[in-house]
């Protein structure tokens, strides 16, 4: 299990070399989006309309951050449960999304889409939102301001710590990790 530094946007080559358990430090731009924002993006895609952000090569963080304290770019920014985005994730991967950050398991359809479209699912540590926020250097709302903390934000991150939970080969850290302790 390596520690790998990656700059966004990500390429097929970036994600194909990742394996479950790899610790990754992301630097560059990532976007926040939760269920309400995903539903709106999905509706735009279904209607054949342009999205408010470029998805190709991007990483989406499933987070609804707390309000920023004075002098800070963002408040506590811990991951939300990812399965709520499972209905929308395959379509976004088809459009070029390369990474998703959240917590918890992903459904079989999402894991299959990661293999097909070369994308990965990163886990961020739940309960460590204040710590994770330290890696977010700048945050600005770029779409769906009416959703409040669930608006899409463009976040500039530096060494944002994540772990590869599902890789492009269909491996699952939660499944493999549990096997080790069953023996």
Is residue 180 among the annotated active site residues? Answer: no
Name the residue ranges covered by the structural domains of the chain. 3-182
Q: Could you tell me which CATH class the domain 3-182 is placed in?
A: alpha beta
Tens digit of each residue's pLDDT (9 = 90 or more) over 45-56? 999 999 999 999
Position 177 scores a pLDDT of 83
Single out the catalytic residue among 34, 38, 40, 106: 38
Position 157 scores a pLDDT of 98
Position 183 scores a pLDDT of 65
Tens digit of each residue's pLDDT (9 = 90 or more) over 64-105? 999 999 999 999 999 999 999 999 999 999 999 999 999 999
Q: DSSP per residue over 56-102, as a string?
A: TT-EEE-B-PPPPPTT-S-S--PBPBGGGGTTTHHHHHHTT--EEEE
Tens digit of each residue's pLDDT (9 = 90 or more) over 126-180? 889 999 999 999 999 999 999 999 999 999 999 999 999 999 999 999 988 888 7
What is the rounded distance in angstroms from the CA atom of residue 60 to the CA atom of residue 11? 14
């Amino acid at each position: 299990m390596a520690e790998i530094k990656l700059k966004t946007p990500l390429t097929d080559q970036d994600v194909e070399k990742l394996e479950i358990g790899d610790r990754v430090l992301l630097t560059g731009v990532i976007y926040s989006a939760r269920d309400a924002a995903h539903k709106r993006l999905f509706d735009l895609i279904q209607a054949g309309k342009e999205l408010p952000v470029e998805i190709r090569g991007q990483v989406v963080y499933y987070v609804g951050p707390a309000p920023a304290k004075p002098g800070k770019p963002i408040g506590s920014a811990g991951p939300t449960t990812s399965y709520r985005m499972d209905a929308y994730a395959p379509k976004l991967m088809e459009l070029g999304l390369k990474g998703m950050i959240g917590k918890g398991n992903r459904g079989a359809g999402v894991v299959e889409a990661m293999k097909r479209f070369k994308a990965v699912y990163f886990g961020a540590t739940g309960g460590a939102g204040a710590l994770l926020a330290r890696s977010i250097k700048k945050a600005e709302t770029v779409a769906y301001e009416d959703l409040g903390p669930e608006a899409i934000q463009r976040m500039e991150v530096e060494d944002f710590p994540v772990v590869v939970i599902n890789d492009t080969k269909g491996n699952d850290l939660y499944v493999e990790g549990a096997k080790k302790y069953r023996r």
